[in-house]
Amino acid sequence: MTEFRYKRIVQFAETDAAGIVHFSWYLRYMEEAEHAMWRSAGLSVAPAGSTIGFPRVAASVEFHAPLRFEDEIETLVRVETLGRRSIKYSYTITRGDTKIATGTMTAVCVRTHPAPMQAIDLPEEIASKLR
C-alpha cells in the first residue's frame, strides 16, 4: 500500500476568525490520512503495549487555496520513501478539482522503551505492508 485516499468534512472548530481553516490543521489532516492508511493496511502507528514509535523529524506544507467550514476534502497520502529506519510521506489535499495544499512528513522508527529513545530498523511486518 503505497498510496491511500482519505475523505473528511472540515469542522467549525478548525476555522479561525476569518472563517478559513487555521494553517495548523493541515498537518493534522495529513497525519489523520496517514493513520487511516495504516489502519487500512491492518496496522496501527501506536498499538497497545508497543515499545516502538514514529516521531516526526521533518514536515512541510505549501498552501494553494483556502478551506472553509463544511468543505469536503480528500487527502492523498503516498509513501515516497521507505528507508531502513524512516518513512517519508507526500500529501495532496484537494476540494473537488481544486488543489488546496501539498506537503511532506518524515517519521523515524524508534524504540521508546527502555530509555533513551533510539532509532531502529523498521520491522519487516510494517515495511512489507507499506511497500
Per-residue pLDDT of the chain (131 residues; tens, 9 = 90+): 689 999 999 999 999 999 999 999 999 999 999 999 999 999 999 999 999 999 999 999 999 999 999 999 999 999 999 999 999 999 999 999 999 999 999 999 999 998 899 999 999 999 999 98
Range of the domain at 99: 3-130
Q: Is 70 helix (H, G, I), strand (E, B) or coil?
A: coil
Global confidence as pTM: 0.94
Q: What is the CATH number of the domain that holds 31?
A: 3.10.129.10
The answer, yes or no, to whether the previous bond of 114 is cis (omega within 30 of 0) is yes
What's the pLDDT score for residue 101?
98
Q: What's the structural domain count of the chain?
A: 1
Q: What is the Cα–Cα distance from 4 to 38, expressed in whole angstroms?
A: 9
Taking a C-beta distance cutoff of 8 angstroms, is the pair 74, 9 a contact?
A: no
What's the pLDDT score for residue 81?
96
What's the pLDDT score for residue 2?
86
User: How many beta carbons lie within 10 A of that of residue 107, not counting itself?
Assistant: 21
Q: What is the Cα–Cα distance from 106 to 89, expressed in whole angstroms?
A: 6
What's the pLDDT score for residue 131?
87
Phi-psi region of 70 (alpha: psi -120 to 50; beta: other; left: phi over 0): left
Query: Which runs of E-coded beta strand occur in 1-131?
Result: 3-9, 52-53, 56-63, 72-82, 86-95, 98-108, 110-111, 118-119
